[in-house]
Amino acid sequence: MMVTPTDPVLYSFRRCPYAMRARLALAVSGTRGELREVKLSAKPQAMLDASTKGTVPVLVLPGGAVLDESLDIMRWALANRDPEGWLARDDAELIAMNDGPFKRDLDCYKYPEYCSADARAHRESGLAFLREIDGRLAGVGQLCGPARGLTDAAIMPFVRQFAAVDRQWFSALPLPHLQGWLAGHLASGLFATIMARATTWSPDDSPLAVTLPQLSPGDWRS
Ligand SMILES: N[C@@H](CCC(=O)N[C@@H](CS)C(=O)NCC(=O)O)C(=O)O
């Protein structure tokens, strides 16, 4: 697919949960553009020129406007095109719990060496959020009803990271709705699309080299 100067550019890091949620919304909305995979230890100057805060994801729009918050990127992409009705499933309060206390617990559980409190305490407090999610999913399937939406895509990458710290512990939890929900998202065509490997971008690369993930609506069900 050709990238044209009228396409947006996304600076992204494959394993970053914030970048994942942005790519999920860009992919489901069918937004075309150029994906620039970066190294967090060597951020490209072009990205820092666009957004000095130095976090991914960053979306640079054709007119030069810059979105450097993952939720803004999701909402922008879905405002343009929302074939699955994700914006109707946007629970800002639950996402704020994820991005605030749960993310702090995740970081301290995953990287206890950088935290004063012990990892187990943070695992326990993160578990309270997982229980909340499991309860929300029971009998419904997704976080805002039977179909996936913005809230699921915004939270799932963080639960994925939490689960991966100790898979055995996670899979033994009595939280079947949460485990099924996570497994379903990880097995989806949409997730496979946004996790395709990309080589690190360099300003010398041809803009034709890589493009934002593309997905036809419905592919994820396969
Ligand atoms: N609030 C931001 C947070 C983004 C963020 O913290 N991304 C991390 C990577 S997962 C980052 O870029 N950190 C900067 C660094 O590691 O240098 C958003 O939602 O986009």
- 9-12 β-sheet, strand order: 34-37, 9-12, 58-60, 66-67
Question: Which residue's alpha carbon is at the smallest distance from atom 8 of ligand 1?
Answer: 55
Q: Which residue has the least CA distance to atom 17 on ligand 1? A: 40
Q: In terms of pLDDT, which residue wins out, 205 or 43?
A: 43
- d(CA 103, ligand 1 centre) in Å: 12
Query: Using an 8 Å Cβ cutoff, are 126 and 109 in contact?
Result: yes
Res 85 pLDDT > 90: yes
Tell whether ligand 1 has an atom less than 6 A from the beta carbon of residue 107: no
Domain annotation for the chain: domains and CATH numbers: 9-85+191-221 (3.40.30.10), 91-188 (1.20.1050.10)
Residue nearest to ligand 1 atom 10, measured at CA: 16
**Mind listing the pLDDT tens digit for each residue in 104-142?**
999 999 998 888 778 889 999 999 999 999 999 998 999
Helix ranges (DSSP H) in 85-188: 92-97, 103-110, 119-137, 150-165, 167-171, 176-186
Q: Is 48 in the pocket of ligand 1 (CB under 6 A)?
A: no
Contact 133, 173 (CB under 8 A): no
Average pLDDT for residues 46-56, to the nearest whole number? 97
Residue 7 confidence class, pLDDT cut points 50, 70, 90: confident
pLDDT for the residue numbered 6: 74
pLDDT at residue 213 in the model: 59
Atom of ligand 1 nearest to the CA of 71: 19
Arithmetic mean of pLDDT, 184-196? 96
